[in-house]
Amino acid sequence: MANSPQSKKRARQNERRYEINKARRSRIRTFLRRVEEAIASGDQTAAATALRAAQPELMRGVTKGVMHKNTASRKISRLSSRVKGMGA
């Protein structure tokens, strides 16, 4: 349990950041799900559009500290290769 004023404040800040980060992660997952659904439906133009919308959202998560840079890059790379492979 937090006892000092500093630790009490830090606990409040942690709760607030946790909620904000949770919302950000959820938003990122929503964008990724839209790309996955477009790929599953077989519509390449919809998948490409969804991917273009998801990329900045993923990288925003990186700058906000929700996700590691390499993780976001890997996800973008794998999704883009799947979208590109749909045309073939």
Range of the domain at 35: 5-86
What is the spatial distance between Cα 55 and Cα 87, in angstroms, rounded to a whole number? 20
The tens place of each residue's pLDDT in the chain, 88 residues long, gives 778 999 999 999 999 999 999 999 999 999 999 999 999 999 999 999 999 999 999 999 999 999 999 999 999 999 999 999 987 6
Predicted TM-score (pTM) of the model is 0.87
Q: In the chain, how many domains are there?
A: 1
pLDDT at 4: 94
pLDDT at 59: 97
Domain harbouring 51, CATH code: 1.20.58.110
| 3-class DSSP assignment, residue 4 | coil
Q: 34: how many CB neighbours lie within 10 A of its CB?
A: 17
pLDDT at 41: 94
- The total number of residues written for the chain in this structure: 88
What's at 80, amino acid-wise? S
Per-position DSSP letters for 28-58, written without gaps between them:
HHHHHHHHHHHHHHT-HHHHHHHHHHHHHHH
